[in-house]
Every structure is written in structure tokens, then in C-alpha cells.
């Protein structure tokens, strides 16, 4: 598989995106589970005003999801400097700089929009960063992740208690950490909060890290530009009312940024699943 990644990485990004658009349709047409979840999540989000608009959004998303898969070899295996240079536009960088200047660390929240892999590499080219990741089942994929992501000043922290300690340690040094805020946490690591009108098990980690470190938070979405021209980063500041539910506020912020780039969001992700051992939403606990 590593050899295949190296072969694909030799192709131009534009060619990989063309192949990816085709691959997206093949996956959609031949995987019933994938296509059902994508349609269900996208349709229930209520982001299109008409049936034709919804159909157009669906078709674009199918192509964009395929691009997301086929661009991974390029992002992980091409020279670090070339990947960082593929960021053609960076909007709102001043929000990141302002958060970093506070000296208490920065939590960068990167939802599953576009090529979110590029965000960490772009930041790690400028300052130390630690990103949380879920260790894959396959050893070869773990190797690819480490080789592709741990470049520049980037470190990876596994999604477990030891990884959380790494994140907190980095924040207390005034450094930057990265978290995927729309990833479904395990049982006991989240609460149910509305997400596009449906209850989604949402991580409580962000609020705990902020409380323990005093770190600032920023959101960053990576938009995939057309014709393989590269990527555009969009940074925006975040402020949470500590007197209210952080997960509820987090999902509201996610909805806002996803609504700006709905065609590139990972709607096929099983965001509304019930973690093993967790009670479904609105299920009373036994006393």
C-alpha cells in the first residue's frame, strides 16, 4: 500500500482530483451503506432550498469526497515544502496570531471540510503543534499517517488518556494543538448536543482543555480549490460562554462553518452513532 501511495503521489494534484471525482461516484454507486449515510446526513441538514439544489449539492459532494481520498497520497508523500506551498490563500491568519500571542496555547479546531490534513502541516511549518489522532487498525496506515503528518514541527498524540496529557502539556507550554471537533467520542467522553437538528454525541474534551489551560480556540476550515489549484484556509475566532454548554456552542459554531462549505463536508461520516455502552439520546439513566 505504501508503494501505491508513492506511485499516486507522483501524479499532479489536478490529475488526482479528476481521478478522485470518478472514484467518488464509483464508491457511491457500489456501496449502499456509504451512499445511504451520505444522503441521510446531507438531506436532513436542510442546507438546500429546493430539490434541484439538494441534488446538485449531493452530486458535488460525491465528487469532493472522492477527491479527498485520492489527494491523500499527494499530501502525505510529496515534499513537505511543496505541500505547504499548495495553500494558495490564507484568510483570517490574524485570528490565529492573536490567539497565540496570549501565551496560553491555542486549540485549533479543524472540522472534516475539504483537505483538513493540510491545516496541521501549514501551522507546523511555522510553530510547534501537537495533533490528536485516532490510531488505525492497520499498521501500514499508522506508518503512513506518522510519516505524512509528523513533518515540520508536528507531533501526533493518540486519542487516549496519554494523548490528552500530551495535549495539555503542549498547551501549558503555550504551544498549539489540533483536534477534530466533529469526531464522535467514545462512551463517557461526550454528551448529546444538537447538530443540524439531530442529537449527536459531542466531545467534552475541548471545554476541559480550555478550563485546565486557559487556552484560546480558533476554527479553521480547509477549502479545496477547483482544478487542483491547491487549497484555501479560513481561520475564525471562537469564544465560548462558560456558563452554558460548551458542546452545544461548539456544534453551533461547526454548523456555521460547514454551512459555508457544505459541498466539501464529510457527510458520509457516521456522526450520529451511539457509542458502545452509551445511552441513546433522551434515554433516562437507571437509579
As a whole number of angstroms, the distance between CA 54 and CA 31 comes to 20
As a whole number of angstroms, the distance between CA 264 and CA 172 comes to 34
pLDDT truncated to tens, each residue of the chain (287 aa)? 889 999 999 999 999 999 999 999 999 999 999 999 999 999 999 998 889 999 999 999 999 999 999 999 999 999 999 999 999 999 999 999 999 999 999 999 999 999 999 999 999 999 999 999 999 989 989 999 999 999 999 999 999 999 999 999 999 999 999 999 999 999 999 999 999 999 999 999 999 999 999 999 999 999 999 999 999 999 999 999 988 999 999 999 999 999 999 999 999 999 999 999 888 987 555 54
Residue ranges per structural domain of the chain: 2-264
This prediction has a pTM of 0.94
Half-sphere exposure of 99 (CA within 13 A, CB side): 27
Amino acid at each position: 500500500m505504501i508503494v501505491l501511495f508513492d506511485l499516486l503521489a507522483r501524479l499532479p494534484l489536478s490529475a488526482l482530483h479528476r481521478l478522485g471525482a470518478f472514484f467518488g461516484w464509483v464508491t457511491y454507486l457500489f456501496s449502499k451503506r456509504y451512499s445511504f449515510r451520505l444522503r441521510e446526513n446531507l438531506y436532513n441538514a436542510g442546507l438546500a432550498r429546493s430539490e434541484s439544489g439538494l441534488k446538485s449539492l449531493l452530486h458535488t459532494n460525491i465528487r469532493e469526497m472522492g477527491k479527498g481520498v485520492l489527494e491523500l497520497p499527494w499530501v502525505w508523500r510529496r515534499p513537505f515544502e511543496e505541500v505547504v506551498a499548495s495553500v494558495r490563500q490564507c484568510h483570517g491568519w490574524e485570528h490565529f496570531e492573536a490567539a497565540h500571542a496570549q501565551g496560553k496555547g491555542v486549540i485549533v479546531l479543524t472540522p472534516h471540510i475539504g483537505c483538513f490534513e493540510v491545516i496541521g502541516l501549514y501551522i507546523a511549518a511555522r510553530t510547534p503543534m501537537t495533533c490528536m489522532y485516532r490510531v488505525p487498525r492497520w499498521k501500514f496506515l499508522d506508518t503512513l499517517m506518522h510519516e505524512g503528518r509528523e513533518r515540520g514541527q508536528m507531533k501526533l498524540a493518540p486519542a487516549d488518556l496519554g494523548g490528552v496529557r500530551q495535549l495539555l502539556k503542549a498547551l501549558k507550554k503555550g504551544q498549539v494543538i489540533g483536534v477534530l471537533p466533529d469526531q464522535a467520542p467514545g462512551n463517557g467522553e461526550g454528551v448529546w448536543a444538537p447538530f443540524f437538528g439531530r442529537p449527536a454525541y459531542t466531545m467534552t474534551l475541548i471545554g476541559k482543555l480550555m478550563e485546565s489551560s486557559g487556552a484560546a480556540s480558533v476554527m479553521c476550515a480547509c477549502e479545496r480549490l477547483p482544478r487542483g489549484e491547491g487549497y484555501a484556509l479560513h481561520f475564525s475566532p471562537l469564544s465560548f460562554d462558560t456558563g452554558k454548554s460548551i458542546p452545544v456552542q461548539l456544534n453551533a459554531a461547526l454548523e456555521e462553518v460547514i454551512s459555508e462549505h457544505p459541498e466539501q463536508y464529510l457527510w458520509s461520516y457516521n456522526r450520529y452513532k451511539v457509542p458502545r455502552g452509551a445511552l441513546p439520546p433522551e434515554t433516562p439513566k437507571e437509579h
